[in-house]
Amino acid sequence: MAANVVANARGKKAPKSSPVVSLWENIKSLAGAVLIYLVINTFLIAAYRIPSGSMMPTLLIGDWLFVNKAVYGPHIPFTHTHLPSFSEPKRGDVVVFESPYQADNAPDYTPTLVKRLVGMPGDTLYMRAGLLYVNGVAQRQGFGIVSTPRSGGSQPTDIAPNFDWQHTIELKQSRFGPPPIQPQLDNWGPLLIPSSHYFMMGDARYESKDSRYWGVVPRENIRGRPSFVYYSYRSGDETDRPLSFITDIRWGRIGTFIH
C-alpha cells in the first residue's frame, strides 16, 4: 500500500502555474529589483558625471564617479532632512551638493555640483591677487591648476553682478582689512561664513562658477562625497574619435580615489 502511494506520488507532475500567476511573480521580482536600486541610489551610493573643467586637475571632464551618500547622512527626498551621518563635512573635502538658487542658470536653477569645501562655519575668507586666505592664513593650492583670470577661461569678466550677494556677509571692519567696494573674481572679502553653511570653490579657480557667484551652501544641500572614478573617457574638444566613450577611454583614471 505504502509502495503504491510513493509510486503514485512520483508519477504525478507538478501543476502548471497559470499565466496570470507567472506574470505576477515576474512583476514582484522586477519591483523588488527596482526598490533595491532606489534604496541604494537614494541612501548609499550614486553615480555622477563631471560635465565641466572646474575641478581640474583633480577631476576631468568625462570622469564618472561613485558618490558616497551615507557619509554625511543620506538626504531624504522632498525634504530638508538628513539621516544620521558617519562624519561631518570638513575643510578640504570634495563635496557633491545641490547648488543655491542660480537665476542665470535656466532651466536648472539648482543644479547638482561637485566642488571643494574651502570655508567652514565661522571661518573668515578673503582673496587677494588670486590667493585665498582662510582666517588670515594663505592657502597654497597644491592640488589646483595654474590659471589666471585672463587665461581664456569660461567666466566672462573679473567683475559680475553675481558677486553682490557677498555684501550680506562681509566684515566691514576686521584685522584683515576692509573689503573692496566691488568684489572681483580674485579680490573679495573678508567674508564671515554663517553657521551651518559652507563656502565651495573649484580647484581650477578661474574656470569655476562657485560660491563666489551664488553664495554659501546650507548643510541640508550637501548630498555626499565622491569616492573614486569608475569610468572616464575624453569627450568634446578633447577628442575627434567617433564613439569616444568606447574608443577614447582614459584607462589610467579608472579606480582613481578622489582627495
The one catalytic residue among 54, 99, 208, 232: 54
Sheet holding 222-232, edge to edge: 45-49, 63-68, 222-232, 94-98, 112-119, 197-201, 217-218
Q: Which residue has the cell 533595491?
A: 36
Residue 16 is a catalytic residue: no
Q: Are 215 and 100 in contact (CB under 8 A)?
A: yes
Out of 69, 99, 115, 211, which one is annotated catalytic? 115
Is 115 assigned a catalytic role? yes
SS3 10: helix
Q: What cell does 248 get?
A: 577614447
Cα 115 to Cα 2, 23, 188, 202, 214: the distances in Å are 76, 46, 19, 5, 13
Output the nine-digit C-alpha cell for 48.
555622477
Q: Which of 106, 88, 97 is nearest to 217 (CA)?
A: 97
Contacts of 14 (CB under 8 A, 6+ apart): none
Please identify every residue annotated as catalytic. Answer: 54, 115
